[in-house]
Amino acid sequence: MKYSQENIQITRQELMAKVQMQMSPRRFQHVLGVEACAIELATLYGASLELASIAALCHDYAKERSDETFITWINEQQLPLELLNWGNAVWHGIVGAEIIKQELLVTNEAVLNAIRVHTTGAAEMSLLDKILYVADYIEPNRDFVGVEKARQLAYQNLDAAVAYETEQTLVHLLAKKAPIYPKTIETYNKWVAHQSY
Ligand code: GDP
Ligand code: FE
Ligand code: FE
């Protein structure tokens, strides 16, 4: 796939190499799985294959950065200081998007936004946001109870897949007594509460 210059200034091969250098082989396999899935979903639902590919390849680019790196970014880039109360799970998407913008020169705001919300979802999600959120959850290397159901839903009804993933993630976080990021609750209220898919 040849990327157009207005979205990113490097080729897909160059982007893959840059992403691979940032992470373990296992995480890189996950990223390639997310890309394959995102392209399938983009084909099925009529989104840009190029933007799906770029968003998927970049989405976990910053995940292996240290906490100190994220904290420095939050302080120096004038991001909301409230982010300092959270951790890697929340930072690698929201702060990661800023790192990706600067280091990979991704300028497409639709791609950056999909990366920002890929972990938590959001009340308002574009088609690309939904594709990345769901592809991240169902890519072929994922193996957990419920992943088959999520895959089935993803190819039938993307909104139902967003809802199912959100519900399962919340159940999982509550079982661990993990703190729930407010945006995750907003996603739940919009996509899960009172919905019957
Ligand atoms: P990954 O980066 O490919 O592993 O997947 P994600 O970016 O979707 O998720 C990263 C982690 O964030 C997972 O362990 C999720 O369970 C977790 N996570 C998602 N929402 C929240 C939240 O609201 N609060 C917390 N503490 N963790 C969350
Ligand atoms: Fe992630
Ligand atoms: Fe991921």
| pLDDT per residue as tens digits for the range 58-109 | 999 999 999 999 999 999 999 999 999 999 999 999 999 999 999 999 999 9
- For residues 106 and 94, is the Cβ–Cβ distance under 8 A? no
| pLDDT recorded at residue 21 | 98
Nearest CA, atom 10, ligand 1: 89
| pLDDT recorded at residue 120 | 98
Token pair 């157009």 is at which residue? 4
Nearest CA, atom 27, ligand 1: 89
**H helix intervals, the chain:** 12-20, 25-45, 49-58, 67-76, 88-104, 109-116, 127-138, 147-156, 158-175, 182-191
The pLDDT mean for the chain works out to: 97
Centre of ligand 1 from the C-alpha of residue 92, in Å: 10
Atom nearest to 137 CA in ligand 1: 8
| pLDDT per residue as tens digits for the range 146-185 | 999 999 999 999 999 999 999 999 999 999 999 999 999 9
Atom nearest to 136 CA in ligand 1: 3
- For residues 112 and 97, is the Cβ–Cβ distance under 8 A? yes
List all residues whose CB is within 6 A of at least one atom of ligand 1: 30, 60, 63, 89, 118-120, 136, 169, 172-173, 178-181, 184
Q: Tell me the one-letter amino acid at 172.
A: H
Centre of ligand 3 from the C-alpha of residue 173, in Å: 17
At 13, list the tokens. Answer: 């091969």
